[in-house]
Structure 1
């Protein structure tokens, strides 16, 4: 390819690299517009619990941002990035000493500022947008709100600049195999007539309250969420598109009582690729619950609080609301009274909402790739 023979020719030419720089400059301008216009307005007020050396680092990062040099210049950007990493690493240690409730909020704010300064460096160097969003999410999950929740507003800007690519044929094949494996190993339980949870179509709030909520009787509500946009929009591909690069807390494992059960932070795309979690332990909550089925089907059993003795709750305080019994394959030698436990059951399908009264034991198993939305209240 011949080079342009004049400055005018170079100005008129276009290349992927040039387009990327242009897009990066547009992103930086959009993000920069969210910041206070003057350095003095980006206040760094902390209690005496935050060491002066840390405040000095925060001020240094702020000065680099508002100084005569630009974050778009390599030297300034690299220095700011190094300072940001030090702030993040040091405050991370503070967040992980002792129990979470004892973490001082100022240290959570320090962590958020470290994430903010790092994000600004990443935006100015045309970094990967998905990686930049991940840093924002870590600030939101582990930090505290700063500058009128600026990390949320930055994510909104970043997502507008994010290009969603289609999955490759290989990825589609892997997904199809995963679905086939799940379906091949899924048995659909039969629900006897005496076990069926009653159904109710679009009841009035008063009727629901008087006949089901107050007397604490389970019921399946139909026709109440048909107007929700998610009933028409949600799919795996849609969730990948709107949230695939977001970082979320995930509970990994089939049961809370299993040794391999854990909690972790994970990108939504990775969660979809690696896990479709069936939480098939049985437990209860100290609140009412509306369990709204959006995608796929779930098999659900409900046991009233009167059956608690027959369900063999764990004796430890932390698991007192979780049964020791494997509901669909119980050890009746070890748990003989479980055979006497009466229950109601259903196969919940998209658009149905199950009302689970307070302290009702519930067992849930996915029959398909499925997503649900739950609401709790006291």
Structure 2
């Protein structure tokens, strides 16, 4: 076992709009801004107890780390429970259950007054602030987003470790064809580089996000999240700036996702197994690994 080749993501307490655009948005490079939320009501208010007090009665979708199955729909939840029950679960100790892509603002509109859309030169999509929750040691599999959006990812209540890689690293990642994920049996916290030798060539970035800190992830970046403590995050997004990425997003949404669902219905688990085998074969063939 050994570690991935990861560089710490640059971090600043504050960053002027012009600097962010010039040094990070235009060249599509990640950055952490530590105090972007310091004037948000959320900075003082947002913790698990507060979420419980205003959303404890809401039924929430839960996901765990089980492998993708042919009979599960795209982003289909694995379980449901009341938010209050889930928060109790987070406080008791480690759990694999996570809340993923949850539009809590739709369920609890009062939360919308707790945050602001920062002016960083991005046309942020209003109405789509998604929330994510996780418990100690829960992990979000390595993936990239279907719509290739630029992401401002804000973390609250605790700490989590983020590993991200640029799109040009896909050739080393054991990407599953007709999917947005890598092989799910790769532990990116501690990868077996003898079993997955292509990862030795991958170049990535890492940071630890604390309460109130924001990670900018450029469009199409792979990301893997490891909750070091219980906590939650919110993502604000803007559409792809690059025409080729907008085209990829449209292809993913309009063609790839539907083709994959069709093949699951026709071939069942054999389709999933085939894709996982192809992730290895295609990666090793491109890199000349035998």
Please tell me whether the aligned partners of residues 47 and 156 of structure 2 are also in contact (alpha carbons under 8 angstroms).
no
Residue 88 of structure 2 aligns with which residue? 273
| Counterpart selection for 2:210 from 349, 371, 375 | 349
Q: Given the alignment of the two structures, is residue 251 of structure 1 paired with residue 112 of structure 2, yes or no?
A: no
Alpha-carbon separation, structure 2, partners of 1:312 and 1:282: 10
| Counterpart selection for 2:182 from 323, 327, 333 | 323
Q: Aligned with 2:139: secondary structure?
A: coil
TM-score norm. by structure 1 comes to 0.45
Question: Which structure is larger by alpha-carbon Rg, 1 or 2?
Answer: 1
| Counterpart selection for 1:204 from 16, 26, 36 | 16
The CA RMSD over aligned residues, in Å, is 2.6
Alpha-carbon separation, structure 2, partners of 1:191 and 1:221: 24
Please tell me whether the aligned partners of residues 255 and 281 of structure 1 are also in contact (alpha carbons under 8 angstroms).
no
Alpha-carbon separation, structure 1, partners of 2:195 and 2:229: 31
Residue by residue, what CA displacement relative to the aligned partner does 1:187-238 show, whole Å, maximum 9, x if unpaired?
xxx999x711001232222221121111100000122101112221122222
Q: Given the alignment of the two structures, is residue 195 of structure 1 paired with residue 7 of structure 2, yes or no?
A: yes
- Structure 1: 4+ residue segments shifted above 3 A: 255-262, 274-277, 331-334
1:262 Cα deviation from its structure 2 partner: 5.0
Please tell me whether the aligned partners of residues 255 and 279 of structure 1 are also in contact (alpha carbons under 8 angstroms).
no
- Higher RCO (C-alpha 8 Å, min separation 6): 2
Residue 41 of structure 2 aligns with which residue? 229
1:333 Cα deviation from its structure 2 partner: 4.2
Please tell me whether the aligned partners of residues 301 and 362 of structure 1 are also in contact (alpha carbons under 8 angstroms).
yes
Structure ranking higher in strand proportion: 2
1:246 Cα deviation from its structure 2 partner: 1.5
1:298 Cα deviation from its structure 2 partner: 0.4
Alpha-carbon separation, structure 1, partners of 2:24 and 2:203: 19
Stretches of structure 2 that go unaligned for 5 or more consecutive residues are 90-96, 98-133, 240-290
Alpha-carbon separation, structure 2, partners of 1:339 and 1:327: 12
Structure ranking higher in helix proportion: 1
1:328 Cα deviation from its structure 2 partner: 2.2
Q: Aligned with 2:187: secondary structure?
A: coil
Aligned length: 184
Alpha-carbon separation, structure 2, partners of 1:232 and 1:373: 15
Q: Aligned with 1:343: secondary structure?
A: strand
Alpha-carbon separation, structure 1, partners of 2:169 and 2:39: 37
Q: Given the alignment of the two structures, is residue 304 of structure 1 paired with residue 166 of structure 2, yes or no?
A: yes
